[in-house]
Structure 1
Amino acid sequence: MPQLNPNPWFPIMILSWLIFSTIIQPKLLPTTPSNHPHNKPFPPIKPTPWTWPWT
């Protein structure tokens, strides 16, 4: 069965992970997120009663 042969796909996977680990990941890690979490308490949500059309 050809899909069980790791010969063509294993080096491609290793190469892609090496590229990701050495080039892409260091460029992504120093970026700072623009949306910082905050500890502001949210007001409780009061549910409004639902008016059923058949009552």
Structure 2
Amino acid sequence: MPQLNPSPWFFIMLTSWLTFSLIIQPKILTFVSTNPPSNKPPTAPSTTPWTWPWT
């Protein structure tokens, strides 16, 4: 049963995680968010009640 032999799969998994952790992740983390969070308090929208003609 070759699927129980960890020799090739462990090396592939280790290589892919190292590639992601050391090369790809730092490049992704350098991007600036296009919508940075603000410190303004949330405001509730002011709504006016609907005037129904039959009431």
Could you say which TM-score interval applies, normalised by the shorter chain? 0.5 to 0.7
Name stretches of at least 5 consecutive residues in structure 2 with no aligned partner. 48-55
Separation in 2 of the partners of 1:42 and 1:10? Answer: 53
Aligned length: 45
Find the structure with the greater CA-based Rg: 2
Identity of aligned residues (%): 58
Superposition RMSD in Å: 2.2
**Is 1:6 matched up with 2:6?**
yes
Name stretches of at least 5 consecutive residues in structure 1 with no aligned partner. 47-55
**TM-score, normalised to structure 2's length?**
0.58
